[in-house]
Amino acid sequence: MRFIYSLFSALMFSSTMSTTTFASIAHYDYVTSIKVNDVDLASPLPAAKANALISKNPVKLKYEYSECTGNTEFQVSSKGKFLKFEIYAEDNPQIKNDSFYKNKNSFAQLGQTKGAVWMEWDNATQIRDKIQIGQKNLTSQYNFQQFKKDFPKSAKSASQNEVAYVILLSPAHAKSVLKEPQNYDLPYIGNLAFNFKNGKLTAFSVNQGIAC
């Protein structure tokens, strides 16, 4: 079940989502593209593209079924990165029964199954991926001063010692959401979370919005 532009189960990312406050997205900058190694995570993508986001080698996935959302999820952690692949029935009409997923443990086995991708880097100083947020780049040296230049609206709701947010909208939903931004709140919508400490980026995550 897809909630209004929210793609999530009850599991939150530890370092960046725990301090989330409930706030209208009208007070934040937004983007419609977040690319990791040239793969855009703003919209659901085929599982075949997901493995390269977490590792150069095939990874073993952990299967979970979310009672909260009714969605199937696959999770994996590797070298300071966490990835969750969340599968919605409406994105995969070719799959007639959820039992299809139960014996799968790799992205190769999931093939063209589409899913929403969540990612977290729990130590920003170790970021080695190419991360592009719209036309802006995020590296291991990213800091709050640069954030204020890149996302001045969002910066007004943050400081150099807390989590700052940028709203993430898929191109398919952006127009309708932006017509009435006051009707959408964090954390119930896609967002990018920048965890700052003493002005330095300590963690970063791509979140697809919690549902319950």
Q: What is the pLDDT of residues 158-210, one digit of tens each?
A: 999 999 999 999 999 999 999 999 999 998 999 999 999 999 999 999 999 88
What per-residue confidence (pLDDT) applies to 38? 96
Q: What letter does residue 81 receive in the DSSP assignment?
A: E
Give domain status of residue 9, yes or no.
no
pLDDT at 15 over 90: no
pLDDT of residue 180: 93
List the one residue out of 68, 77, 5 whose CA is nearest residue 42: 5
CB 161 within 8 A of CB 197: yes
The tens digit of pLDDT for each residue in 119-147 reads: 999 999 999 999 999 999 999 999 999 99
- Decide if 1 is inside a domain: no
DSSP label at residue 182: G
| Structural domain that includes position 87 | 14-207
Give residues with Cβ within 8 angstroms of 4, minimum separation 6. 184, 188
Q: What is the tally of structural domains in the chain?
A: 1
pLDDT digits (tens, 9 = 90+) for 57-101: 999 999 999 888 889 999 999 999 999 999 999 999 999 998 999
Of 93, 103, 153, 128, the C-alpha closest to 204 is 128
pLDDT at residue number 71: 93
Whether 119 is covered by a domain: the verdict is yes
107, with CB counted inside 10 A (0-12, 13-18, 19+), is buried
**Residue 4 included in any domain:** no
Is residue 8's pLDDT more than 70? no
Q: Mean pLDDT across the stretch 34-48?
A: 97
How far does Cα 196 stand from its chain's mean position? 18
Residue whose C-alpha is closest to residue 186's, from 39, 12, 2, 44: 12
Provide DSSP, 16-29.
HHTT---EEGGGS-
Q: What is the pLDDT of residue 14?
A: 40
Higher pLDDT, 13 or 49: 49
- Can you tell me whether residue 142 is helix, strand or coil? coil
pTM (2 decimals)? 0.88
Q: Give percent of the chain with pLDDT exceeding 90.
A: 82
In a domain, 6, yes or no: no
Whether the per-residue pLDDT at 107 is higher than 60: the answer is yes
In a domain, 116, yes or no: yes
- Look at residue 211 in the predicted model and tell me its pLDDT: 72
pLDDT band (50, 70, 90) for residue 21: low
55 in a structural domain: yes
Looking at residue 124, the DSSP 8-state letter turns out to be G
Query: Is 8 inside any structural domain?
Result: no
Q: Which residue has the higher pLDDT, 204 or 13?
A: 204
Any residues with CB less than 8 A from the CB of 102 and at least 6 apart, and which? 63
